Amino acid sequence: MGLRVAFAGGGTGGHVVPGLHLLAWPEVRDALEDLVWFQTGREAERRLAPRLEAVAPPGCERVELALEPPGGGAPGRARLALG
């Protein structure tokens, strides 16, 4: 059974950079069975997306979660609960 990995972040892209470094290791890439990147769709993540797509294994899935209210800013607890 291979590795099943999911990365999730808060919109700053801070989860993408460590993930890129992890994928730079052939031993890790070769062992991956499933990889999912959860993102918020913020600009920082969008700028890093091409780098991710360049090194991600086939079948890697990017899931954009609509967590932010229109106009940006952190969502309140009620909005998070409803989301």
What is the tens place of the pLDDT at every residue in 50-79?
Answer: 887 788 877 888 888 876 666 666 667 777
Q: Quick one: pLDDT at residue 9?
A: 72
How far apart (Å, rounded) are the C-alpha atoms in residues 37 and 15?
A: 9
User: pLDDT digit string (tens) for 4-54?
Assistant: 888 887 767 777 788 888 888 888 888 888 888 888 777 878 888 788 778
Q: pTM for the complete prediction?
A: 0.64
- CA atoms of 68 and 74, how far apart (whole Å): 6
